[in-house]
């Protein structure tokens, strides 16, 4: 991956199209991709994806599909019809659901990645859910996703360094809730800075409020990219 393949994904966490598009028009689609999540997609539907694509952006459709295998497969097929760059499913849906999702996306279609454990969950949240140690659970779910043929996983940068052996062959790590140096964590619990996430082995970084709520989003994105360019990267031995 190089900077011709943008590392930063800007999270368009807005409640309606006007605000999302106003922000998107202040960004360069050659420097970032954008993420459309549950709130924006629920408000605007597929039309917002098509409009962003018309502006030149590659879209990560972040809906975290989690249902019976047939339903998830159908949803993934519709996402592929939209021409999105990336779509995700929840790894806790299990092996049969993951396999069905994989089979529903044609060759050359969107990248399919699995969500492991949400970065808003702290140790007490995981204990209450019976999920135990986050690192152990994230690794188990990541292995499940790789075995099902998915293209990568969403994980905390705190776990990314433990998944480097899974990255061979193009399996990617997407880390949400990333903050530039000095930015507040907001409601993220298991996060890291841009430099720390890339040093840990993340491939794509989802950045939201530090860009979308900045007085000058373009300048904030440029600062994120500068921090990314200065970050050390682990050596990946492709086997």
**Residue 233 clears pLDDT 80, i.e. is over it:** no
Catalytic residue among 5, 28, 62, 165: 62
pLDDT for res 29: 97
Contact assessment for residue 54 and residue 21, using Cβ atoms and an 8 Å cutoff: no
Query: What span, in angstroms and rounded, lies between the C-alpha atoms of 87 and 35?
Result: 10
Q: Does 62 participate in catalysis according to the annotation?
A: yes
| Distances 67 to 38, 74, 91, 218 between C-alpha atoms, Å | 15, 11, 11, 38
pLDDT for res 207: 94
Mean pLDDT on 113-138: 70
Phi-psi region of 221 (alpha: psi -120 to 50; beta: other; left: phi over 0): alpha
118 versus 136: the higher-pLDDT residue is 136
**Residue 2 clears pLDDT 70, i.e. is over it:** no
Residue ranges at the known binding site for substrate: 13, 35, 62-71, 119, 179, 188, 208-209
Q: Which of 225, 231, 176, 232 is nearest to 205 (CA)?
A: 176
**Residue 119 clears pLDDT 70, i.e. is over it:** no
Q: Does 216 participate in catalysis according to the annotation?
A: no
Q: Does 28 participate in catalysis according to the annotation?
A: no
Nearby residues of 75 by Cβ (< 8 Å), 6 or more positions away: 63, 65, 67
Residue ranges at the known binding site: 13, 35, 62-71, 119, 179, 188, 208-209
* pLDDT tens-digit readout, 27-74: 999 999 999 999 999 999 999 999 999 999 999 999 999 999 999 999
Q: Is 122 exposed, middle or buried (0-12, 13-18, 19+ CB in 10 A)?
A: exposed
Catalytic residue among 67, 165, 186, 238: 67
Instruction: Give the chain's domains with CATH numbers.
Output: 8-229 (3.20.20.70)
Catalytic residue among 64, 81, 186, 216: 64
108 versus 2: the higher-pLDDT residue is 108
Nearby residues of 23 by Cβ (< 8 Å), 6 or more positions away: 10, 12, 14, 212, 217
| Distances 138 to 12, 42, 160 between C-alpha atoms, Å | 25, 28, 9
Q: Which residues of 155-191 are buried (b: 16+ CB within 10 A; e: fewer)?
A: bbbbbbbbbeebbeeebbbbbbbbbbeebeeeebbbb
DSSP state of 23: H
179 versus 125: the higher-pLDDT residue is 179
182 versus 3: the higher-pLDDT residue is 182
* pLDDT tens-digit readout, 144-192: 999 999 999 998 888 888 899 999 889 999 999 898 765 555 544 546 7
């Amino acid at each position: 991956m190089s900077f011709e393949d943008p590392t930063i994904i800007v999270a368009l966490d807005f409640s309606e199209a006007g605000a999302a598009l106003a922000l998107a028009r202040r960004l360069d689609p050659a420097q970032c991709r954008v993420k459309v999540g549950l709130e924006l997609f629920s408000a605007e539907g597929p039309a917002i994806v098509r409009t962003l694509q018309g502006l030149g952006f590659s879209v990560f459709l972040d809906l975290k599909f989690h249902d019976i295998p047939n339903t998830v497969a159908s949803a993934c097929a519709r996402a592929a019809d939209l021409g999105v760059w990336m779509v995700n499913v929840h790894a806790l849906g299990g092996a049969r659901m993951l396999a069905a999702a994989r089979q529903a996306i044609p060759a050359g279609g969107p990248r399919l990645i699995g969500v492991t454990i949400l970065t808003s969950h702290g140790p007490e949240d995981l204990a209450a859910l019976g999920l135990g140690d986050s690192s152990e659970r994230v690794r188990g779910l990541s292995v499940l996703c790789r075995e099902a043929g998915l293209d990568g996983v969403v994980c905390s940068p705190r776990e990314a360094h433990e998944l480097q052996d899974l990255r061979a062959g193009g399996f990617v790590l997407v880390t949400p809730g990333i903050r530039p140096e000095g930015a507040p964590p907001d409601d993220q619990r298991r996060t890291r800075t841009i430099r720390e996430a890339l040093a840990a082995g993340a491939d794509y970084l989802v950045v939201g409020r530090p860009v979308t709520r900045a007085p000058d989003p373009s300048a904030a994105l440029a600062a994120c990219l500068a921090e990314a360019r200065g970050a050390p990267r682990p050596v990946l031995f492709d086997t």
